[in-house]
Chains A and B, each alone.
Chain A
Amino acid sequence: MNEEQKDIFFDLLTKKAIYGLDAAEQAQLDAMDPGNAELEFNSLEMAAAAISMMGAADDEPMPASLRSKIIADANAFVVEQNEQTVAWPPTTNDDDKGYVTDVEEKSSGSWLGWLGWASAAVACIALALNLWFTRVQPGPGPEIAKAPPVETPRTLSPAELRDEMLRAATDTIKATWAVGNVKELTQVVGDVVWSDQKQAGYMRLKGLPVNDATKEQYQLWIFDKNQDKATPIDGGVFNVSAEGEVVIPINAKIAAASPEMFAITVERPGGVVVSKRGKIAALAKVETPAKPTA
């Protein structure tokens, strides 16, 4: 294979890893294959998958309705698999256990797998029967002792948690909110406190409008001393659901050490990986250590 052919060979492999190939291109690749195309492709595809994950935001939840559909699909798949397994118990074929697979390929069920699902089904039936006998069936039944009411500890509000942190942490820093670049938002006041030790912080905000979370959400960015300014830490997406002062906990995605500035941007629902900084609702530069009474 000369240099030009190598370039074409790797162009095709790269294209296959990024976009897939049509039949003609695949035929061209097959014709050129010196015997290592599959190995080359596997590792390039793995590199492409790793790059694709760089841009992924794993904190963006999938819609609940989609999750329900996927679970329904999974249940249907299990039923289908069980039916196939009962009818034709498969044999294990080790040769078929290659790493890279055609996603259209049929799954090979296993008796162990089937037994697992079957056990789960039996357990469900047993649970249902148990519930029926113990709770639904009329007439005398086993007396269920009344358990004493459990006292649930009161959940502290974000404002109380903020006060608690200010009392407990000795390294708390504080910054005061100033206006950003949204000309309608000139009344945003409040502060942000943060503790490196506790890796926790709270924003106190007043004047930030109530947002419609289906249209846009607020997102906090933390500019850390050790972090390139172009890549601030995502401090989490949040909503303002009431007028007046609100206290919002910070949800930093990685450890922050010595934040120097905080910024709140207005983004699409779920937040963004890359903010165009079109709407900066507020900015806060760290000035002084926070006092417990702040």
Chain B
Amino acid sequence: MTEAILQRISDGDRNAIQDCLDKYGGLVWSIARKMLRNSDDAEDAVQEIFVDIWKNAGRFDESKASETTFIAMIARRRLIDRIRHSNRRISADSLDDVLLEPFTRADKAIQVSVEAGQAAEAMRSLRPEQQQVLRLSIVQGMSHQEISDATGMPLGTVKTHARRGLLHVRQNMGLGGSNVSMEAAI
């Protein structure tokens, strides 16, 4: 089995840095562009994300998650941090882009990782409103309030859809969690 790129980085394999950029550069760039929307912000964030990746490479444990998911988690933490500190607002123009979804590429989830494919499958089992809330909040980085304003759903409903939707996706992906009355929360 091929050694994980992150393990090779941790072991000091210089080629692994190029390999990491080749394999995950586009993914991280795309997640950043979607969440931040501003290219300059996204460039700064992606630079920081890769520094985080170098620093945390040795902590990757393939028994817990795939390398792709681990990198996406590091990316999201950094992006969330930036969004929280920048008080970003999404423009009205960009809302059109995210609310209208014809021609969605079917292949993307499958291409990026097994987990993304599983998530796509899990999302299909959700109610359309739950799917919409999760897509707008997680993929597009919109706040609950922004989603409420854009869709006309009451804020409390948006929060409930987010909670129930995410718990369902987790459950359907077999990611577990504890047994604390999932049914009640869902």
Contacts and interface: CB of A to CB of B under 8 A. Distances in A.
Interface string B97-114: 100111111111111110
B6 interface: no
Interface in A248-294: 253-254, 265, 273-277
B134 interface: yes
Q: On chain B, which size bracket covers the interface?
A: 35 or more
Interface majority SS on B: helix, strand, loop or mixed?
helix
Residue from the set A7, A46, A51, A112 with the largest chain B CB neighbour count within 10 Å = A51
A49 B72 CA distance: 6
A55 B139 contact: yes
Max count, chain B CB within 10 A of own CB: residue among A1, A108, A273, A276: A273
A143 interface: no
Interface in A179-235: 221, 227-228, 230-234
Contacts of B78: 103
A254 B107 contact: yes
B51 A77 contact: yes
A55 B103 contact: no
A163 interface: no
A230 B119 contact: no
B163 A7 contact: yes
Contact of A274 (B43, B74, B97): B97
Contacts of B58: 97, 107-108, 110, 113
A60 B30 contact: yes
Interface string A83-109: 000000000000001111101011110
Given A49-B76, A53-B112, A18 B180 contact: no
Contacts of B173: 47, 50
A100 B11 CA distance: 20
A221 B103 contact: yes
A69 interface: yes
A116 B11 contact: yes
Contacts of A43: 170, 175-177
Given A44-B166, A52-B72, A274-B101, A70 B47 contact: yes
Interface string B170-186: 10010111101100110
A255 to B, nearest CB: 9
A150 to B, nearest CB: 26
A1 B175 CA distance: 23
Contacts of A1: 180-181
Interface in A128-165: none
A276 B74 contact: no
A228 B72 contact: no
A241 to B, nearest CB: 23
